[in-house]
Amino acid sequence: MTTIKPNETADTIPNKEYFGPFSLSFREHVHRLVHWGYEDAHPRIQQPTSRADEEEESITGFIAESIKDITVWEKESWLKWFHVDDDPRVPTEGRSGKHRWKADLIIESNPHGGPQYVFEAKRLKGSKHTAGRYTGSDGMGCFISGKYASRYDEAGMLGYIQSDSLAEWKDKVERKIDGDAKKLSLTGSQRDEQVIDAFPLEWVSEHNRNSVRRSITIYHILLDCCRVS
């Protein structure tokens, strides 16, 4: 049973199963946080290390740390209403505690109970970290299966580009999505959608989700994470 707190009504409490469409301002603010976090973390992402590559978790951690600093120190008034979690566990039917699934990045609007923008991240590099991994069960499939963001109408994919150009990888991923349209429950054509100027190559794909009886729109953002030679 939901307890209604002072100053709340039943209409202001989001449904536990379905939150409703995101506002345009929420989507834009989330995009700006991702951009600012990435820009601030970029020098760390570019640094050569003793390892061949940084994993998704490390890059996401750099970005999340920067976003947390930005929400504390920057002067934009709207920032106080947001916080970020990287590698958070998400509610999972039939699983509890450490056995729950973990998303890569969640940006949430405060106060508690506000909408959550869920991101999954995948490296894209050469012949090992391929478009197939990006679109697979541990990438886009996490959203299409209803594993992540089941109560929301949209979510985001972050592609960490570690070889070639963003434009080349955009073409590869889009062709892979079209090629696996049936498997990915793709509805209609993919389309370019620039939410903010910083992501001129962003695009959108829409997918059915039979598990939650509601479709999902995925926003695809590619970030240059190539090393300094």
pLDDT tens digits along 89-113: 454 444 333 333 467 899 998 766 7
Max mean pLDDT range (54-63, 107-116, 189-198): 189-198
With 70 as the cut, is the pLDDT of residue 1 above it? no
192-215 CB burial, b ≥16 within 10 A, e <16: eeebbeebeebbbbbbebeebeee
Instruction: Dihedral sign for Cα 162, 49, 63, 103, please.
Output: positive
Quick one: pLDDT at residue 57? 86
Q: Is the pLDDT of residue 150 over 60?
A: yes
| Per-residue pLDDT tens digits for 10-47 | 445 567 788 889 999 999 999 999 999 999 999 999 88
How many beta carbons lie within 10 A of that of residue 57, not counting itself?
Answer: 13
pTM score of the predicted model:
0.86
pLDDT at residue 104 in the model: 84
- Domains of the chain, residue spans: 18-224
Cα–Cα separations (whole angstroms), residue 2 to 13, 68, 96, 114, 209: 9, 31, 21, 15, 27
pLDDT value for 229? 63
pLDDT tens digits along 154-186:
999 999 999 999 999 999 999 999 999 999 999
25: Cα separation from own chain's centroid: 16
What pLDDT is stored for residue 167 in this prediction?
A: 98
Between 94 and 224, the higher pLDDT residue: 224
Residue 29's pLDDT is what?
96
Burial of 219 (0-12, 13-18, 19+ CB in 10 A): buried
Mean pLDDT calculated for residue range 125-135: 94
